[in-house]
């Protein structure tokens, strides 16, 4: 997603939609681990920040819960002078187990 | 078999009482026996919206405590003979409403009505959880606005946790009723649209009630919008929603007071 569409103001409804999706993912919590997302966010941020400068506001953590597996998505926007420009780390998490197999996309 | 419907939202001012009155009247017009029950102890308003404010003698708390019989507290609507109101108390403390008392009243109502529609107070406190406790079906009233959608999401969680149906391990049937919807603003991207709200809340759509001056006019008159102006857009939308509650497959057209163009543009299938 692009937060900065040049020359065109973003429609407020799509901002509302995105804000709600992020917020409600947090609020719905994850079964028995209500604070998993904030904890992961902090730890992943700290790890990345050791190597490249990261703007805390440009980090998004989402969990999409499915029947068999849940998808944990961490989006970290890096400034252009940091290489590589944008990197997305995707972790898949089995619903019940706590084990996280982190694989890097791209 | 009686169906207990809770009209709930979490957030206040989104149209729970308007919806309870409108759906109740719409179902009664179909010949169904309907009781609408106000759970908002201390801040009752369903009596006012139904135009029965001067006829309230006994209320839900009197009946729940066994001080009067249910038949003494039920107020029959002057326009529709199968529509009854059980008012909330305006003066009693809300703690006067007990689990056992409410269970007793709901049990009795189930024996004599086809539909029992519970108007929930705003919030997630006791009054709201008592209103949903015995429900078979929930109508989650939501405005296309961030705070209302967030609160509705919270209520959906409570419906799956704090109802008798959930406690029995059954699936709580939940429906989204989108109120105060303005298709023009949604079309321009200035208001969350129907699909946005359905996607976020992940519950099926019961109806879309357009923003309309008819709603205020109806409450000014003390008449449900489905009685006061049956041809108006909100009345048609509420009638369609009532039909869907009864299990009819009514296509989801967007009712409008303006030309038929909007209905065509926003015609959609029920979820």
pLDDT band at A2 (very low <50, low <70, confident <90, very high): low
* Mean pLDDT of the region B7-13: 96
Instruction: Tell if the CB–CB gap between B150 and A23 is shorter than 8 Å.
Output: yes
pLDDT, tens digit, 9 for 90 and up, residues B149-170: 999 999 999 999 999 999 998 9
* Mean pLDDT of the region B189-198: 95
* Among B120, B187, B119, B175, residue whose Cα is nearest residue B142: B175
Q: For B158, name the nearest residue in chain A, comparing CA atoms only.
A: A28
Please, are residues B204 and B271 in contact by the beta-carbon 8 Å criterion? yes
Q: Which residues of B touch A12 (CB under 8 A)?
A: 189-190
The minimal CB distance from A13 to the residues B153, B186, B199 is found for: B186
* Mean pLDDT of the region B190-216: 95
Residue A19 forms contact with B (CB below 8 Å):
yes
Please tell me which residue, B213 or A81, carries the higher pLDDT value. Answer: B213
pLDDT band at B137 (very low <50, low <70, confident <90, very high): very high
Instruction: Tell if the CB–CB gap between B192 and A17 is shorter than 8 Å.
Output: yes
* Among B2, B49, B3, B20, residue whose Cα is nearest residue B177: B20
- What is the per-residue DSSP string for B245-263? HTT----B----SS-THHH
| Global pTM exceeds 0.90 | no
Angle in degrees, 0-180, between the axes of helices B233-245 and B16-29, rounded to the nearest 10: 70
- CA–CA gap between residue A89 and residue A77 (Å, rounded): 11
- CA–CA gap between residue B264 and residue B178 (Å, rounded): 19
Residue A16 forms contact with B (CB below 8 Å):
yes
The residues, any chain, with a CB within 8 Å of residue B165's CB and separated by 6 or more, are: B135, B136, B171, B172
Q: For B186, name the nearest residue in chain A, comparing CA atoms only.
A: A13
Instruction: Tell if the CB–CB gap between A28 and B153 is shorter than 8 Å.
Output: yes
- CA–CA gap between residue B197 and residue B145 (Å, rounded): 9
User: Please, what sign has the CA dihedral across residues B45, B243, B8, B108?
Assistant: positive
Does the bond joining B139 to the residue before it have cis omega, within 30 degrees of 0?
no
Q: What is the pLDDT of residue A69?
A: 73
Instruction: Tell if the CB–CB gap between A17 and B190 is shorter than 8 Å.
Output: no
pLDDT, tens digit, 9 for 90 and up, residues B77-129: 999 999 999 999 988 887 889 999 999 999 999 999 999 999 999 999 999 99
- CA–CA gap between residue A99 and residue A93 (Å, rounded): 7
Burial (CB < 10 A; 0-12, 13-18, 19+), residue A101, is exposed
pLDDT band at A31 (very low <50, low <70, confident <90, very high): very low
Q: What is the pLDDT of residue A101?
A: 34
Residue B53: DSSP 8-state: T
Q: What is the pLDDT of residue A66?
A: 66
Q: What is the pLDDT of residue B118?
A: 98
Question: Between the CA atoms of B6, B9, B10 and B13, what dihedral angle is there, to the nearest 10 degrees?
Answer: -120
Neighbours of B242 (CB within 10 A): 26
* Mean pLDDT of the region B3-14: 97
pLDDT, tens digit, 9 for 90 and up, residues A33-61: 456 667 777 778 888 888 888 887 777 77
Query: What percent of chain B has pLDDT above 70?
Result: 94
**What's CA B186's distance to the chain center, in Å?**
24
- CA–CA gap between residue B119 and residue B21 (Å, rounded): 9
Closest-CA distance of chain B to residue A30, Å: 13
ipTM associated with this complex = 0.81
Neighbours of B79 (CB within 10 A): 15
Closest-CA distance of chain B to residue A32, Å: 14
């Amino acid at each position: 997603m692009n937060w900065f569409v040049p020359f065109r103001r973003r429609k407020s409804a799509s901002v509302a939609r995105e804000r709600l999706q992020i917020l409600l993912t947090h609020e719905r919590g994850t079964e028995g681990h209500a604070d998993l997302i904030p904890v992961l966010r902090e730890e992943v941020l700290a790890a990345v920040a050791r190597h490249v400068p990261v703007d805390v506001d440009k980090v998004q953590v989402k969990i999409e819960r499915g029947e068999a597996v849940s998808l944990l998505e961490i989006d970290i926007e890096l400034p252009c002078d940091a290489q590589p420009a944008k990197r997305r780390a995707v972790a898949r998490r089995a619903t019940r187990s706590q084990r996280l197999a982190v694989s890097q996309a791209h | 078999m009686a169906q207990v419907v809770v009209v709930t939202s979490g957030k206040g001012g989104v149209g729970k009482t308007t919806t309870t009155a409108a759906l109740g009247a719409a179902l009664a017009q179909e010949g169904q026996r309907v009781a609408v029950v106000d759970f908002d102890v201390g801040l009752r308003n369903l009596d006012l919206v139904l135009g029965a404010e001067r006829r309230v003698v006994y209320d839900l708390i009197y009946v729940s405590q066994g001080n009067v019989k249910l038949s003494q507290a039920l107020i029959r609507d002057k326009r529709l003979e199968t529509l009854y109101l059980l008012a909330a108390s305006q003066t009693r403390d809300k703690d006067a409403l007990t689990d056992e008392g409410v269970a007793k009243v709901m049990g009795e109502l189930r024996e004599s009505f086809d539909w029992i529609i519970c108007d929930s107070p705003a919030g997630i406190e006791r009054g709201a959880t008592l209103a949903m406790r015995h429900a078979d079906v929930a109508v989650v009233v939501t405005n296309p606005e961030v705070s209302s959608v967030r609160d509705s999401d919270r209520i959906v969680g409570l419906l799956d946790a704090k109802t008798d149906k959930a406690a029995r391990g059954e699936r709580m049937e939940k429906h989204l009723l989108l109120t105060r919807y303005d298709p023009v603003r949604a079309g321009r991207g200035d208001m969350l649209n129907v699909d946005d709200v359905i996607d976020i809340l992940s519950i099926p759509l019961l109806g879309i009630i357009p923003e309309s001056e008819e709603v205020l006019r109806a409450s000014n008159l003390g008449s449900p919008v489905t009685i006061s102006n049956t041809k108006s857009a909100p009345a048609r939308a509420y009638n369609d929603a009532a039909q869907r509650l009864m299990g009819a497959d009514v296509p989801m057209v967007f009712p409008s007071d303006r030309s038929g163009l909007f209905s065509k543009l926003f015609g959609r299938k029920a979820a």
